Amino acid sequence: MDLLRTIACQQHSRMCEQTLAKSGELRLSRRADPPTPPAAAAPEMSRIITDPSTGKCYCRGKVLGKGGFAKCYEMTDLSTNRVYAAKIIPHTRVAKPHQREKIDREIELHRTLFHRHIVHFYHHFEDKENIYILLEHCSRRSMAHILKARKVLTEPEVRYYLRQIVSGLKCLHEQGILHRDLKLGNFFINESMELKIGDFGLAAKLEPVENRSRTICGTPNYLSPEVLNKQGHGCESDIWAMGCVMYTMLLGRPPFETTNLKETYRCIREARYTMPSSLSSSAKQLIASMLSKHPEDRPTLDDITQHDFLTQGFTPDRLSQSCCHYAPDFHLSSPAKNFFKKAAAALFGGKKDKVKFLDNQNKLGKDDDEIYKLKSDLKKMSLSNQMNNKSPSDEEQRGTNCDKPETAPVKETEQQIRDSIRMIVRGTLGSCSSSSSESLEDSTMGSVADTVARVLKGCLENMPEGDNFPKEQLNCSFQWVTKWVDYSNKYGFGYQLSDHTVGVLFNNGTHMSLLADKKTIHYYAELGQCSIFTATEVPEKFIGQVTILKYFAHYMEENLMEGGDLPASTDAQKPRLCLLQWLKSDRALMMLFSDGTFQVNFYHDHTKIIICNHDDEYLLTYINEDRISTTFRLSTLLMSGCSQNLRARMEYALNMVRQISLRRLE
């Protein structure tokens, strides 16, 4: 009986290990010690702690984190009110000699490190109960907490953090120290959103290959092949872990994560992982080089610093604290932002503005390759009268919640609703426009907005209550917006479709699209009038707008991630999507297209709903916070109902599309 109980306990322990490994929380220590048997309940730790050597008193605050041996608390020096992160290790947890040696080694290594991107070591002391290590307090917690809230990060953010990781790691390696446990939970963020490498519990001095310890230590999802094969840690092992970190930041999951620890280790040994197409080519190249199977094939820290991913794309100088919870909106950032401010004067200003701008561009250096490449186009820029200086006000462009009373709804029969849902909003417009009445017939925008509103309203009023999604789900493709940039304070609203067409709705009401072939441009000045020309033979009067269109395309390609996993339509016969109207509220962005496609992106959790017409039937697609998409027929929702989360989003979307009609009537 005892044997059976022992076997059962061992199996349960293995299951727990696999679960923890999957979540990335299990850390393999230098030696597998059996758990300390439970003893009598330890006395509660005092709130006021005195350093016996100095007499200083500290007040212990809230728990910041937990580790294998220790807990980390906020601790305030009562004489100065300075706040520290205090790692507190009970003597009972390090009673064995090798355990105490581990703590002493961590202290000895960490106290010698002074770098902007390494958690600062201040002081350590001990009393009869505990060992206390006072460290720099990082109020924004760790990258693991940020990614848990954000799911994924944008490429500019990853560049920002990666530069700081490389800087801190270079300081370690130059002093002959290996971290050996680089992961999101060990990158701490301070009040200024600066990254600090911390937790040196597994750190060790770099030894020659023949003298390296063959112990497997670290976090399973971040272990390198040579460590698993017991060849020992080197600087290349930290580079491998950094590749795993970069992949996780961009995609929200470690590259080798599986449901089975043995399978994870097999994938690591074979360097086998998937590389989604949503990543930019330079990001893929850098990740692939850091995750090379053989250590000698991996880049050095200097190589990483010089890689195109870090040198070519936009990197912010600083991040807002809101980035801990929400994706940043970088717009067009310096130096490109300053460049295009001047370009705006040339496009929309007078002759003197144009001459001054072009003279300045003659002095432009090659610091920014993209701007330099566009310089020759801008020299040819002509101030065309077709681009006027009238643009909607900020309030009109961004949108606000509408509190106007609604008229009493007229109840329709179920069959009428079905018929309404199956109605087709045909792409008969032949063109696109915007919120500007100068280049759009109100009746056209009104008919599209009114039809979408009627379909949504009819579905919501007649849809039964439900808790789950309908069982019937579709697998079809259509065009939708995967990326967007609001730069309407200067030029307009840019977006990228799932087929990689890029469009810009300019503030003056004109619309321009660069098709997926990157060679063909469609220009819509007003209803029914479309001009088509190649990107290499641009009519002189369109050079300014084409230049800005190209910049929008380049910016979104380099800096923004795809918005979900929905496949793109490849049907060449489908009408091209052109943006009619966009509207921003404090919660969401709404986009309405010429064929009746209607998309709403919610900021706080990055969910999206898309309504479109496909094969003579209306479909609704919901992209959840994990970027997973689900598509239903609206007629199915009408019969089966849906979850409260989706219903709430549909109701909010209906209120947004109604604003278009209300503004048209004002």
Q: How would you classify the pairing of strands 195-197 and 177-178?
A: unpaired
d(C-alpha 165, C-alpha 156), whole Å: 14
DSSP E strands, 390-517: 481-487, 492-497, 502-506, 511-514
Task: Respond yes or no on whether the N-terminal peptide bond of residue 539 is cis (omega within 30° of 0).
Answer: no
Classify 182 as helix, strand or coil: coil
d(C-alpha 315, C-alpha 329), whole Å: 13
Instruction: Supply 611's token pair.
Output: 């309504």
d(C-alpha 117, C-alpha 130), whole Å: 28
Question: What are the Cα distances from residue 381, in Å, to 42, 293, 335, 485, 527?
Answer: 78, 51, 20, 24, 26
Which of 288, 389, 285, 281 lies closest to 344, judged by CA?
A: 389
Per the CB < 8 A criterion, the answer to whether 518 and 526 are in contact is no
d(C-alpha 262, C-alpha 103), whole Å: 30
Greatest distance between any 2 Cα atoms in the chain: 95
Instruction: Supply 277's token pair.
Output: 């197409």
Which of 500, 470, 467 lies closest to 482, judged by CA?
A: 500
Residues 6 or more apart whose CB falls under 8 angstroms from that of 68 comprise 27, 29, 201
Look up 329 and say whether it is catalytic.
Answer: no
Per the CB < 8 A criterion, the answer to whether 164 and 157 are in contact is no
Q: How would you classify the pairing of strands 492-497 and 502-506?
A: antiparallel
Instruction: Supply 613's token pair.
Output: 């017409």
Q: How would you classify the pairing of strands 598-602 and 608-614?
A: antiparallel
Tokens 């370009």: give the residue. Answer: 343
Instruction: Supply 253's token pair.
Output: 């999951």
Residue 119 burial (C-beta neighbours within 10 Å; 0-12, 13-18, 19+): buried
Exposure b/e, 535-546, CB count within 10 A at least 16 = b: eeebeeebbbbb
DSSP state of 591: E
Residue 664 burial (C-beta neighbours within 10 Å; 0-12, 13-18, 19+): middle
Beta bridge partners of 598: 592, 611
Residue 158 burial (C-beta neighbours within 10 Å; 0-12, 13-18, 19+): buried
Among the options 51, 181, 377, 450, which is catalytic? 181
DSSP state of 209: G
Residue spans of alpha helices (H) in 493-606: 543-559
Helices (H) and strands (E) in the chain, counts: 19, 22
The answer to the question of whether 490 is labelled as a binding residue is no
d(C-alpha 392, C-alpha 385), whole Å: 18
Catalytic (active-site) positions: 181
Binding-site sequence positions: 96
Binding residues for ATP: 96
